[in-house]
Amino acid sequence: MTKIKISRLGRFSPVLLYLLLGVGGWLLYQTFQPSLHDPGAMPRSVIARGDLAEDERNTIEVFKNTAPSVVYITSIALRRGLFNLNVYEIPQGTGSGFIWDKKGRIVTNYHVISDASRLEVTLADHSTWKAVLVGAAPDRDIAVLQISAPKSSLFPIIIGESDDLLVGQKVFAIGNPFGLDQTLTTGVVSALGREIKSVTGRTISGVIQTDAAINPGNSGGPLLDSAGRLIGVNTAIYSPSGGSSGIGFAVPVHEVNSVVPLLIRHGRLIRPGLGISLAPKRLADEFGLAGVPVLKVQPGSTAAKAGLRGVSQVQGGMILGDCILAVDGKKVHDYKEFRDLLEQHEVGNTVVLTILRNGKEQQLTVALEAME
């Protein structure tokens, strides 16, 4: 019988193979995997941060409470086709606004909706409603729209004060910049009493300046104080590039609160006036007059009843009438100052005019009447 001799090497080769595989695997593990003994190479345990800072909680609360009051406005225009006579509806622009009351009235800037043939309002719940124009005050850049959404979907904004604002106090802006809905930006009141031009070229006074980021699409949205109350309507930015540069402007809420009820009631802004026409400033300069000369007094007006006199024509020339020097003791130098002083009152109020007549000063009490 032939015996097969098995060498020692051959007998232990499987053991060596396993040993080599084990060593190789360990070397690969050490080369390509983080060491179990190096805590910095392993995921760290997550520790909850705890309560947010009080200032952060307030910001979150303001957004949470006010966002349902802010709306997204799409203005749609009619355009004729380039190669045919068909008329198409195309989105012309977007803006922001806020819910004024439970009857579905929406407040926004006039320039947001001025050239639209149709308007759509999207609420915070993403429902979209057709809007109609209730009234507009282009000189103040304010407009009121109406939608037919159910009361359960309408959350009117809380109205605040703008007369007691302080430079440096915190403010929030909520709107839809660049079509991105429900966007919050924060900042401070940077300055007060600014003046900007409306779309009609008329000066809007008492405007709030803020460094809260305001971009295209924010127009018409609310500017809020730290309690979430409306203090202004974001209306313009100062920016050569068209984007926010840290200088934004808002129409103060006291202006909004006086204009919106009139737009709801009349569809237009009813201004207090006297029923007079004022002469151009060059006439006052020509005669060396400090105030504003009365050019014409409308028959039957409150000014006519009070005895105010305008320019009269005579053979070979004209005779100056009354020149208004002051309203309620406040001097006036031009038409703008005169108009602004009258608009601090309401229709039916009376004002005391200081006039220059025949070289002598005297006073007349005149009632303000409704003017277009």
Q: pLDDT, tens digit, for every residue of 216-244? A: 778 899 999 999 999 999 987 665 555 55
Concatenated DSSP letters of 256-313: HHHHHHHHHHHSS--EEE-SEEEPPHHHHHHTT-SSEEEEEE-TTSHHHHHT----EE
Residue whose structure tokens are 């003046």:
195
* Residue 126 near residue 74 (C-beta atoms within 8 A): no
Copy the structure tokens of residue 69.
């009051």
Q: What number of other Cβ atoms are within 10 A of residue 53's Cβ?
A: 8
DSSP 18-76: HHHHHHHHHHHHHHHS--TT-GGGSPPPP----SPPHHHHHHHHHHHHHGGGEEEEEEE
- The pLDDT assigned to 241 comes to 56
* CATH of span 170-269: 2.40.10.10
Is the CB of residue 210 less than 8 Å from the CB of residue 194? no
Which tokens go with 74? 């799409």
Q: CA–CA separation, 161 vs 340, rounded Å?
A: 20
Domain boundaries, the chain: 68-153, 170-269, 272-371
| Of 205, 216, 208, 206, nearest in space to 239 by CA | 216
Please provide residue 323's backbone torsions phi and psi, each rounded to the nearest 5 degrees. -120, 120
3-state SS class at 36: coil
What three-state secondary structure class fits 99?
Answer: strand
Per-residue three-class SS string for 179-239: HCCCEEEEEEEEEEEEEEECCCCCEEEEEEEECCCCCCCCCCCEEECCCCCEEEEEEEECC
Report pLDDT for 130: 94
pLDDT at 210: 92
Which segments of the chain have a pLDDT < 50?
Answer: 1-12, 86-89
- What does the pLDDT look like over 95-139, one tens digit per residue? 899 999 999 999 999 988 888 888 999 999 999 999 999 999 988
3-state DSSP assignment of residue 314? strand
Size of the chain in residues: 372
The answer to whether residues 156 and 69 touch, using CB atoms and an 8 Å cutoff, is yes
Query: How much is the pLDDT for 67?
Result: 92
Report pLDDT for 228: 92
Task: Measure Cα distances from 33 to 19, 30, 36, 47, 187 in Å.
Answer: 21, 6, 9, 26, 48
With a threshold of 0.75, does the pTM exceed it?
no
In whole angstroms, give the CA distance from residue 144 to residue 262. 10
* Residue of 260, 281, 293, 56 lying closest to 159 (CA atoms): 260
**293 φ, ψ to 5°?**
-70, 145
Tokens 């429902």 -> residue? 127
DSSP single-letter state for residue 328: T
CA 26 vs CA 14, 16, 19, 21, 74: distances in Å: 18, 15, 11, 9, 65
Q: Distance of alpha carbon 115 from its chain centroid, rounded? A: 18
Q: How far apart are CA 51 and CA 80, in angstroms?
A: 57
Instruction: Please name the fold of domain 272-371.
Output: Pdz3 Domain (2.30.42)
- Which 3 state secondary structure label does DSSP give 2? coil
Give yes or no on whether 68-153 and 170-269 have one common fold.
yes
Give the model's pLDDT for residue 5. Answer: 39
Active site residues: 111, 141, 219
Give me the pLDDT at residue 313, please.
75
What's domain 68-153's superfamily in CATH?
Trypsin-like serine proteases (2.40.10.10)
pLDDT at res. 6: 34
